[in-house]
Amino acid sequence: MTSVIAAAATSICIIALITNSRRGLLVTIALKPMIDIGWANTVVFGQSFSAIVTVATVILVAFDLIFRKREHRNHTGDMFLPFKGLWILYFGYFVFVILFYLISTGDLLGEVGGFFRVSNSILGFFAFYRYFSNDRDFRNLVIAYIVGGFFPALVSIYQAHTGQIWHYRQTVGIVRYVGLYHDAVAVRIYLFSSILCIWIYFRYYLDRSYIIKKTFLIGFVILCFFALYKVYSKTVVVTMLVWGILFLFHKKYFVLASFGVVVLIVLNLLFSGILFEEYSHLFSKETAVLQGGRTDIALGGRLGLWEGIWREWKAAPFFMKVFGSRIDIPAHNEFLRILMSTGVVGLGIFLILIIRMGLGVFAGYLRHGNDMQFVGVLVFVQWLIEAMGQTPGVYSNFQWYVFGFIALALCGFMLQKEENEEKLA
């Protein structure tokens, strides 16, 4: 059944992309969570449905952006997108490394996979700027991300209700409800993007009189939080804490944040303390480390893994240290993955790019304080947290989401309602 759903969603996305790239990208964002449940099914050249859609999206959207520049220039108006040169430099270097190893090893499929993986980040950065930097199209983008969260949230609720386990994943003896996905990363990526976009929709596109819509979206947010809770992920906890702190300082959401804390405490009491008990157990290894225990068991054994990868890099030949091995290892750290894959040069360019973008979104927010730049700060922080313990660079939809929203924040895009409010002020 999963293969049928994934195949149907894949077909719809490819047809939509061929028909109209902008609308096709929206359809792909909305249906990507359904495509990703087919991660175990190989179709063409041993590739999954998700890989096929990613390749189709990159090719068709890139073709549209390159050969229809005039239309997109009219679309973006006078907005300027910074750091284009750095993105092109990073992409160009990556292509150079890929071509070198392609000639050396002849591993066509492996190098093509690497090419499309790095293409996803640059696609999100340029495509969101060209396609969604006006109020109407941005509203459609927000709706696409909200719709994208329905499937993983409903599957998680079904799993919690029935106890159905499709893919057994556990941490410190707690079973994670990852639904039909390979791991918890996909679940939290889709649900966090939906939650953020529901907040945007509430702020700008929902009239006060729309009681039914508001009730539905509030209910959906509650389902998303429940699904995130059942994932039992440290990354979820850290992301929610950091987002909560940032919201406290933005537009004075202190009352709302305080209400959320009170609700959490009440729920914990109603369920006999099980909420706090489960999550204190989730961090039991980290607590043991603070009390003088073994450090290599912390963070799901990642510290030991990182030490091993670091030793492997130091023992590598000089050429591989500088230019990388072009092998994407499961490093559980994005910076180590890039170091091993593209070497010191690739990591250096990437760090310059990430630091410049991070400083750009924070400086823009401190200077103007508008919601779009705040969204840029939120997704940048979310990416940074994921990058510390996972490899977000291998998740196409997450790259579109993060670097796309950052591009919109950096280019000075403002939602029409907020722009009107600023003019009146």
21 shares its domain with 89 = no
Residues 34 and 126 in one domain: no
Confidence of residue 281 (pLDDT cuts 50, 70, 90): low
Residue count of the chain: 425
Burial class of residue 161, CB neighbours in 10 A (0-12, 13-18, 19+):
exposed
User: Do residues 173 and 116 both lie within one domain?
Assistant: no
Residue 216 is part of which domain span? 141-251
Q: Which of these three, 221, 251, 281, is where a domain ends?
A: 251
**Are 123 and 158 contained in the same domain?**
no
pLDDT for 252 beyond 70: no
Residue 277 lies in a domain: no
Burial class (CB in 10 A: 0-12, 13-18, 19+), 355: exposed
Cβ burial of 365 (10 Å; 0-12, 13-18, 19+) is buried
Mean pLDDT (the chain) is 85
Question: Which percentage of the chain shows pLDDT scores above 70?
Answer: 85
Least confident of 168-177, 232-241, 310-319, 328-337: 168-177
Closest CA to 119 of 82, 87, 150, 145: 87
Q: Is pLDDT at 423 greater than 50 in this prediction?
A: no
Residue 108 and residue 91 share a domain: yes
Kindly report, residue by residue over 397-410, the tens digit of the pLDDT. 999 999 999 999 99
In a domain, 210, yes or no: yes
> Does residue 385 lie in a domain region?
yes
Residues 41 and 119 in one domain: no
| Tokens matching residue 275 | 């909420």
Predicted confidence (pLDDT) at residue 76 exceeds the cutoff of 80: no
In a domain, 373, yes or no: yes
Q: What is the pLDDT of residues 22-45, one digit of tens each?
A: 999 999 999 999 999 988 887 877
Res 74: pLDDT: 47
Give the per-residue pLDDT at 325. Answer: 81
| Statement to judge: residues 239 and 151 lie in one domain | yes
pLDDT at residue number 80: 77
Contact 50, 36 (CB under 8 A): yes
Cα separation, 72 vs 133, in Å, equals 10
Residue 393 structure tokens:
């660079």
pLDDT of residue 294: 64
Three-point CA angle 229, 194, 19, nearest 5°: 140
Residues 101 and 198 in one domain: no
Kindly state the tokens that stand for 112.
Answer: 């093509």
36 is a domain residue: yes
Cα distances (angstroms) measured from residue 155 to each of 56, 166, 206, 222, 327: 27, 11, 27, 14, 34
Q: Tokens 């063409």 label which residue?
A: 44
Spacing of C-alpha 4 from chain mean position: 25
Helices (H), 106-208: 108-131, 135-162, 184-204
Percentage with pLDDT > 90 across the chain? 43
45 plus 121 within the same structural domain: no
Tell whether the model's pLDDT for residue 419 goes beyond 60: no
- Whether 133 shows a pLDDT value over 70: the answer reads yes
Residue 294 inside a domain? The answer is no
- Please give the single-letter amino acid code of residue 21: S
pLDDT tens profile 301-315: 788 888 888 999 888
pLDDT for the residue numbered 424? 43
* 118 vs 267, more confident: 118
Alpha-helical (H) ranges within 271-393 are 274-282, 284-290, 298-315, 318-323, 334-368, 371-389
Contact residues for 276 (Cβ-Cβ < 8 A; gap 6+):
268
Say yes or no: 364 and 404 in one domain.
yes
pTM: 0.91
Last residue of a domain, one of 198, 228, 251: 251
Q: How many structural domains compose the chain?
A: 3
In this prediction, residue 291 carries a pLDDT of 66
- 283 assigned to some structural domain: no
Q: Which of 80-84, 101-105, 403-407 shows the highest mean pLDDT?
A: 403-407
The residue-averaged pLDDT of 352-367 equals 93
CA distance 72 to 127: 10
Query: Same structural domain for residues 393 and 334?
Result: yes
User: Which of 209, 230, 251 is where one domain is finished?
Assistant: 251
Res. 131 pLDDT band, cuts 50 70 90: very high
Three-class DSSP category at 392: helix
Residues 241 and 148 in one domain: yes
Residue 281 lies in a domain: no
